[in-house]
């Protein structure tokens, strides 16, 4: 659903890669493996990983701090973009 919704709105200079990874409860094992595999291929300054997790019974939620072992703050630009994107959907506008 997300890929279907975002695809037509993608800017020409942006590439989306949708990946389903495993071992996420074990310290993001699948996502970490993907990042290691793409190291040197995907530019770290130009790449953003967005992990979708946890069913919230229809409520939209995102964390401003992420990381079970080492917490990292979501960059301000990404938090703003997340809120703007959520507001574009009428049921999440508030």
Helix (H) or strand (E) holding 37: helix 29-38
Is 23 within 8 Å of 29 (Cβ atoms)? yes
Tens of pLDDT, residue by residue over 37-90, are 999 999 888 888 777 766 677 777 777 777 667 777 888 888 888 888 888 888
Of 26, 5, 25, 24, nearest in space to 16 by CA: 5
Q: Of residues 59 and 16, which shows the higher confidence score? A: 16
What does the angle CA 70 – CA 60 – CA 20 come to, to the nearest 5 degrees?
A: 60
Lowest mean pLDDT among 5-9, 25-29, 73-77, 84-88: 25-29
- The pLDDT assigned to 8 comes to 80
Is the entire prediction scored with pTM above 0.85? Answer: no
SS3 label, residue 54: coil
- The pLDDT assigned to 20 comes to 81
pLDDT higher than 80, residue 36: yes
Q: What is the mean pLDDT of residues 90-94?
A: 78
- Count of beta carbons in the 10 Å neighbourhood of residue 28: 20
User: What is the residue extent of each domain of the chain?
Assistant: 1-53, 54-94
Is 35 within 8 Å of 47 (Cβ atoms)? no
Q: How far apart are CA 68 and CA 90, in angstroms?
A: 32
């Amino acid at each position: 659903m997300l890929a279907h919704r975002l695809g037509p709105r993608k800017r020409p200079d942006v590439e989306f890669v949708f990946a389903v990874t495993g071992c996420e409860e074990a310290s993001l094992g699948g996502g970490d493996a993907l990042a290691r595999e793409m190291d040197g291929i995907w530019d770290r300054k130009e790449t953003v990983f967005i992990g979708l997790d946890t069913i919230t019974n229809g409520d939209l939620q995102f964390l401003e701090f992420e990381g079970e072992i080492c917490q990292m703050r979501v960059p301000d630009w990404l938090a703003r973009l997340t809120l703007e994107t959520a507001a574009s959907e009428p049921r999440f506008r508030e």
